[in-house]
A = this chain, B = another copy of it.
């Protein structure tokens, strides 16, 4: 045999054998995300250039340089993220998702007028299980497009919202409202508590849904019912979602009625603990922040909603320096008017700079933390989500870096917070599953989501015109 030929055959056979060996050595996984700059948000805030993530059974099983991940894992399902940014899914810490159906219905009003003249009547006439499902689908579609992978909700018919959320493949801490007046789904506290009992039992332990009890606020729920909500949470482990100290008026009224700030009052009645998620906290008084810290309460800041309703500016820089668990939320789209976490990040950094007069306050990196790892802490889910780390749930974004508004790039956090838009999110993975790929929604039919919402719009307008409220 020609020695060159024999050498050639020998090399070929060896290469093939070594490929086979490498392939058999490589562990098959569900999904590989390869290439791109990974913003991990882990404890060291590691950035991995040309990185890779291996996902199996809904979790990240390895993260590191692409070459290393590719040499150890194989998958039929791959996302090519070369030239993109890979980041943890965003966490919208507070919303009322079906209220997207009221987006733009009544704006530029004060909270009291807005609620009592428009929102409550509109809700009384329109909120049904079907309304909630249609609104949830519209809001979920908008959130997925914008890279929100987890949201914390408070509304009515929360069981239907959980059902829609699970179907859409989105993660949610979903709180069924408890309030001391008749609402769409429950007319009495007893009915509400019975609903929550069933709701929590149904969803407890679900991979995506964390069912919660949501006593609306200390001024709309009696002491007795707040204590019952806390007892329910103690017994079931369900988180407690609530609004605290949103307006100055709420604080003043509470001081008059109970001789204490809302936080101090809630602490006195034994309501606060490390399962409580408190939205707004615009007006903490005296030692309130220390109480919240001591009790391990999570706080969710909603800058755009607080601005639009003129509620005030929460002392977030102080909360951060006192190491409170603080996240970021959009609030409902009726008071925002979108579910866009990119704009909340941009706003939170800018608002606190001008409000404190200190342009160094809330850096771009801190703003991004509020929407990811700190947001996870605020929802008491930091062991599961909020960063890209081995062992955590695979809630991952792939973000286009090639849009005009992002060029050039000098600092990754500046880019993410001050320049990236919701429309730049390209691919969304939640719990290891592809939910949006190359800007195409995979779990929701966008056309019918929109069509259904438009039908409800017409119903809402008709319902309000009979009361003379339509503008």
- Chain A residues packing against B (C-beta within 8 Å): 100-101, 103-105, 107-111, 114, 138, 141-142, 145-146, 304, 306-313, 336-340, 343, 346-347, 349-351, 353-354, 356-361, 363-364, 402, 404-405, 407-411, 414-415, 418-419, 421-423, 446, 449-450, 453-454, 456-457, 460-461, 471
B409 and A359 contacting across the interface, CB-CB below 8 Å: no
B338 and A103 contacting across the interface, CB-CB below 8 Å: no
A408 and B353 contacting across the interface, CB-CB below 8 Å: no
Nearest-Cβ distance from residue A433 to partner chain B, whole angstroms: 20
B-side contacts of A350, CB under 8 Å = 304, 307-308, 347
Q: List 6 A-B contacts (CB under 8 A).
A: A108-B353, A109-B359, A110-B358, A145-B404, A310-B359, A338-B418
Nearest-Cβ distance from residue A404 to partner chain B, whole angstroms: 4
Residue of A336, A350, A358 most packed against chain B (CB within 10 A): A350
CA distance A346 to B337 in the complex (A): 9
CA distance A349 to B309 in the complex (A): 11
B-side contacts of A449, CB under 8 Å = 404
Nearest-Cβ distance from residue A411 to partner chain B, whole angstroms: 5
Q: Return the chain B residue nearest A339 by Cβ.
A: B405
B-side contacts of A309, CB under 8 Å = 353, 359
CA distance A471 to B114 in the complex (A): 46
B-side contacts of A363, CB under 8 Å = 107-108
B-side contacts of A453, CB under 8 Å = 407-408
Nearest-Cβ distance from residue A268 to partner chain B, whole angstroms: 29
Nearest-Cβ distance from residue A198 to partner chain B, whole angstroms: 31
Tell me which of B114, B349, B408 contacts A454 (CB under 8 A): B408
If A104-B414, A107-B364, A364-B108 touch, does A346 touch B343 (CB 8 Å cutoff)?
Answer: yes
Tell me which of B306, B421, B461 contacts A410 (CB under 8 A): B461
Nearest-Cβ distance from residue A436 to partner chain B, whole angstroms: 12
Q: Return the chain B residue nearest A310 by Cβ.
A: B359
A408 and B457 contacting across the interface, CB-CB below 8 Å: yes
If A346-B343, A405-B338, A405-B422 touch, does A359 touch B105 (CB 8 Å cutoff)?
Answer: no
